[in-house]
Chains A and B, each alone.
Chain A
Amino acid sequence: AQKITQTQPGMFVQEKEAVTLDCTYDTSDPSYGLFWYKQPSSGEMIFLIYQGSYDQQNATEGRYSLNFQKARKSANLVISASQLGDSAMYFCAMREFPSGNTPLVFGKGTRLSVIA
């Protein structure tokens, strides 16, 4: 069963607007972490933001925020005030912590295009 689901293969957003990229996950472990990565056309993987399953507040990092809804098992990425440089692939990922580290599992990604 797929552990991370990103249902939007592609998204368009107008420059300076906000955009939400969806991510749902599946786990029975109470301890886990959710990650978002950005992959621009140059190919490198850039870490954006992290949310732990026990974190009481939604994570924020500059223009990035994570809308964490634990009961719904969703961890949507919100990008505020989109910029042309935000055009990239975005991947949601999860790691479970039953005891120590486990592999980071990725969704299939969403391609975001920012329009001037």
Chain B
Amino acid sequence: NAGVTQTPKFQVLKTGQSMTLQCAQDMNHEYMSWYRQDPGMGLRLIHYSVGAGITDQGEVPNGYNVSRSTTEDFPLRLLSAAPSQTSVYFCASTATGQIANGAYEQYFGPGTRLTVT
């Protein structure tokens, strides 16, 4: 199992450019989510999905779009990048139902460091 994979690892964009951050998991997890991490702010939820075809907004959804056409993939789209979107982005997935110890552990990808100039 590769777990949760994210590409790219690093990205520099100019203001106004668009791009898609890719996220995939091979654990057959129903639940996937995107977070951004900024210094002193912890991890803030952008969007999440409880299964293919279902997405919902988190705490900081503005400027981002998501879709979930398959269980495995959950891409995050920046339609018009702004300097305020400079951050580290984490994708995560969780098995629904009972897993080991009922922990509902959330598995994280390695992160994408995005800089918008």
Contact = CB atoms under 8 A, between A and B. Distances in A.
Given A101-B94, A105-B45, A47 B50 contact: no
A12 to B, nearest CB: 18
Interface string B79-117: 000000000101010101000011111111011000000
Contacts of B105: 35, 47, 50
Interface stretch (A13-21, A80-88, A106-114): A106-114
Contacts of B101: 50
A44 interface: yes
A98 interface: no
Contacts of A109: 42
Contacts of A35: 103, 105-106
A91 B43 contact: yes
B104 A101 contact: yes
Interface string A67-93: 000000000000000000000000101
Measured as residues with beta carbon below 8 angstroms from the partner, the interface class of chain B is 20 to 34
Interface residues of A, number: 21
Contacts of A62: none
B75 interface: no
A45 interface: yes
Given A43-B88, A47-B105, A47-B106, 14 more contacts: A50-B103, A50-B105, A52-B102, A52-B103, A91-B42, A91-B43, A95-B104, A101-B104, A103-B48, A103-B58, A104-B33, A104-B45, A106-B42, A108-B40
9 contacts: A35-B103, A44-B108, A44-B111, A45-B92, A91-B42, A101-B31, A104-B45, A106-B42, A108-B41
